[in-house]
Amino acid sequence: MTQTAAVCDHVHGNVNDAGYSAFQARVKARFSKNMAEGKSLAFATDATGLWQAYLGTFTDPADRRLHDCSVCRHFIERFGGLVTIDESGETRSAIWDPEDAPEHYKPGFAAMLRIVRHASVTGVFLSSVSELGQAKTGVWSHLAVTFPVNMLHHDRLLTAGQKMAEKREDFGTVMRALDEFTADHVQTAVDLLKTDTLYQSERVLGQAQWLQSIHTKRHATSDARRRENHVWAAVASAPQGFCHPRSSMIGSLLEDIAAGMEFSQVSKRFADKMHPLRYQRPQAAPTAGNIAQAEKVFEQLGLAPALHRRIARFEEVPKVWVPRVQPARGAGSGLFGHLVPKVQMTVKAGSMAMPIVTMTLQKFVQTVAPDAEQLEVMLPVAHKAPFIVITTAVHAEVPPIFQWDHPFAWYVWHEGAAPDQYGLSAGWTEVAGVTRLPARWNDDGQRFKHQGDGLILLLKGARETRQAGAGLFPSLLRSELHGVRATIEAHSRGAQMGGMAEGTAIGYDLRNGQGSGYPVTLRATVGGRIHTYKIDRWD
């Protein structure tokens, strides 16, 4: 309980005190503003003695007794030490600013602010409830703030306290990695990964750049506390898996670089470990304990229906390009006038045969595809092609099992596949539409870039004839399932993919940084003329 200059007593309290209500609102607004400027990340500190410092500013014994409120004490001792961290690594109190307080409270706010300014960060702060504190009890109002809705902890497997403990462990893990791998080691790794000379480098580049940014920020200051704060800030917002570099592929790459290996050896070792049949794929059957853990996790998350998978249909997939459809003709006369004839693209007679133009896929998408009435792709005769199959959940409205918020995913056959596996023939095949890699459908450009990027040329008439299981791969699954991936992998291998006859979302796989689909020959009909293009790379 606290009071403003208005008269209050233990009978009437201060709940109707307009001055105090305005004071409450300013404190809440300050917290909301600080959280927004701090990217909605709050941190706990080792600040102690806040309540004593606050209460000690009320020198009149009767006044001090009036303010000696257990609800306010709980709020100040539990949340009063919260801070945000700015880009320079400096901390700022998330709550206290004397400018928000009436004159009677300014000394108390200033005293707490001094303590918090000198405190050290001890962890990431998380909350599963929106109100920090208790704004009202009976006839009394108290200090309380509202935690940002977008940062509320909703994990059904770990409590907020357990997740905060996990973040403290992550901090120690990252600090040890930064000590072991120098800024030069990390810079070399980033340079190699950016050249696309390492197999599936896009899966590791993000984590390498994350470590690089921490090194850069730490190097910019000599203040030990600010250097630690940069690590805390990075850990608080780190993507899943980034805080364990020593046990991930970036750690393996950095170890090889630190050991002074030649590029050829580094590249070979990296490719061996990134092989699609090994990367994040359990190599042994799940233990009884892992199976039991998986049962518990799937029950808690309600994910059992999401295990049933089928091949998606063409009409379910968002497209970035579709053929230009000619207007339907009206019904003709005669016995068979109600039938719709096959539409043929009209190619202008006498047009000059144009030479094949070589360009990147990105240039083709930007300059050719927007005006194309029809696209075709040349399927190979003598070798297998990089086909890709888009999958989805059998049941509607299932909880997300993947890292993104929709049920679509994909699978490929590692060695590629022959066209006849999909009921197709070598030669020119019509492209029914173009879509992006499912992980990037709703992406803002950053969240799932570790999955790479790609365009899929959806092929008219394609149907899968080979059973692939459920197609649930550990590298695509949501983070809560990492610990039970051995069980999920075993289930996926033994399951049956549904929708084999109806599934039509099947296409030719053109990825960024993965060269199996290049070069590929495309044919575009533009303005009634056919132009042929050799696509040699992504960009």
- Is residue 69 located within the same domain as residue 180? no
Contacts of 270 (CB under 8 A, 6+ apart): 198, 199, 249, 252, 253, 256
- Is residue 364 located within the same domain as residue 512? yes
Domain boundary among 151, 177, 192: 151
| pTM attached to this predicted model | 0.74
- Amino acid found at 100: D
> If you average pLDDT over residues 316-328, what whole number do you get?
83
- Is residue 57 located within the same domain as residue 99? yes
Contacts of 58 (CB under 8 A, 6+ apart): 64, 66, 67, 108
Q: Provide the CB-side half-sphere exposure for 488 (13 A, CA).
A: 29
- Amino acid found at 265: Q
Between 202-219 and 224-236, two packed helices, what is the crossing angle to 10 degrees?
150
| Position 421 pLDDT exceeds 90 | yes
| Position 343 pLDDT exceeds 50 | no
50-54, 157-161, 450-454, 494-498: which has the minimum mean pLDDT? 450-454
Q: Cα separation of 172 and 170, whole Å? A: 5
Preceding peptide of 438 cis, ω within 30°: no
Q: Cα separation of 515 and 444, whole Å? A: 25
Instruction: Show the tokens assigned to 262.
Output: 């030649």
β-sheet bridge partners, residue 508:
387, 457
Q: Cα separation of 435 and 458, whole Å? A: 7
Q: What b-and-e string marks burial along 400-425, b requiring 16 or more CB atoms within 10 Å of the CB? A: ebbbbeebbbbbbbeebbbbebbebe
- Is residue 195 located within the same domain as residue 66? no
* Average pLDDT, rounded, for the chain: 89
Whether the CB-CB separation of 411 and 389 falls below 8 Å is answered with yes
46 in any annotated domain: yes
Whether the CB-CB separation of 86 and 38 falls below 8 Å is answered with yes
pLDDT at 203: 80
- Any idea of the CA torsion for 205, 208, 213, 216, to the nearest 10 degrees? -130
Residue whose pair of structure tokens reads 């390498």 in the numeric block: 208
| Position 466 pLDDT exceeds 90 | yes
- Amino acid found at 178: L
pLDDT tens-place string over residues 163-216: 999 999 999 999 999 999 999 999 999 999 988 788 778 888 989 999 999 999
Reference 203, options 451, 443, 441, 412; nearest CA is: 451
Report residue 4's pLDDT band, with 50, 70 and 90 as the boundaries.
very low
- Is residue 352 located within the same domain as residue 487? yes
331 in any annotated domain: no
Residue whose pair of structure tokens reads 């199976």 in the numeric block: 291
pLDDT at 535: 95
346 in any annotated domain: yes
With 0-12 / 13-18 / 19 or more C-beta atoms within 10 angstroms meaning exposed / middle / buried, residue 537 is middle
pLDDT at 14: 72
pLDDT tens-place string over residues 53-99: 999 999 999 889 888 999 999 999 999 999 999 999 999 999 999 99
Total structural domains within the chain: 3
108 in any annotated domain: yes
- Is residue 350 located within the same domain as residue 481? yes
518 in any annotated domain: yes
pLDDT at 275: 66
The DSSP element (H or E) to which 427 belongs, if any, is strand 427-436
Instruction: Show the tokens assigned to 159.
Output: 């409590």
End-to-end CA distance of the chain: 63
Complete DSSP assignment for 434-462:
EEE-GGGTT--SSTTGGG--EEEEEETT-
pLDDT at 379: 96
Per cent of the chain over pLDDT 90 is 70
Whether the CB-CB separation of 280 and 200 falls below 8 Å is answered with no
Whether the CB-CB separation of 126 and 164 falls below 8 Å is answered with yes
> If you average pLDDT over residues 477-495, what whole number do you get?
91
Q: Cα separation of 455 and 435, whole Å? A: 6
92-101, 134-143, 422-431: which has the minimum mean pLDDT? 134-143
pLDDT at 304: 95
pLDDT at 307: 96
- Is residue 392 located within the same domain as residue 319? yes
Q: Cα separation of 126 and 159, whole Å? A: 9
Domain boundary among 125, 151, 177: 151
DSSP 413: -
Instruction: Show the tokens assigned to 334.
Output: 């005669």
- Is residue 208 located within the same domain as residue 142? no
- For 4, other C-beta atoms within 10 Å of its C-beta total 20
pLDDT at 335: 64
- Is residue 463 located within the same domain as residue 371? yes
Between strands 144-146 and 131-133, the pairing is: antiparallel
410 in any annotated domain: yes
Q: Cα separation of 43 and 94, whole Å? A: 9
Reference 92, options 144, 5, 31; nearest CA is: 31
DSSP 488: H
Which residue has better confidence, 5 or 334? 334
458-462, 478-482, 511-515: which has the minimum mean pLDDT? 511-515
Contacts of 244 (CB under 8 A, 6+ apart): 170, 173, 251
Reference 100, options 168, 162, 27, 159; nearest CA is: 27
Q: Which of 13-22, 109-118, 143-152, 233-242 has the highest mean pLDDT?
A: 109-118
| Position 274 pLDDT exceeds 80 | no
- Is residue 122 located within the same domain as residue 190? no
Domain boundary among 151, 170, 191: 151
pLDDT at 329: 46
Whether the CB-CB separation of 464 and 311 falls below 8 Å is answered with yes
pLDDT at 338: 52
| Position 349 pLDDT exceeds 70 | no
Instruction: Show the tokens assigned to 508.
Output: 């030719």
pLDDT at 296: 95
447 in any annotated domain: yes
Whether the CB-CB separation of 67 and 3 falls below 8 Å is answered with yes
| Position 109 pLDDT exceeds 90 | yes
pLDDT at 5: 43
Reference 82, options 23, 148, 177, 26; nearest CA is: 148
Instruction: Show the tokens assigned to 151.
Output: 């940062």
Three-class SS of residue 317? coil
103 in any annotated domain: yes
| Position 447 pLDDT exceeds 90 | no
- Is residue 380 located within the same domain as residue 522? yes
pLDDT at 402: 95
| Position 308 pLDDT exceeds 50 | yes
- Is residue 80 located within the same domain as residue 210? no
Q: Cα separation of 255 and 372, whole Å? A: 49
Contacts of 272 (CB under 8 A, 6+ apart): 278
| Position 344 pLDDT exceeds 60 | no
Three-class SS of residue 127? coil
Give the domain extent around 54. 18-151
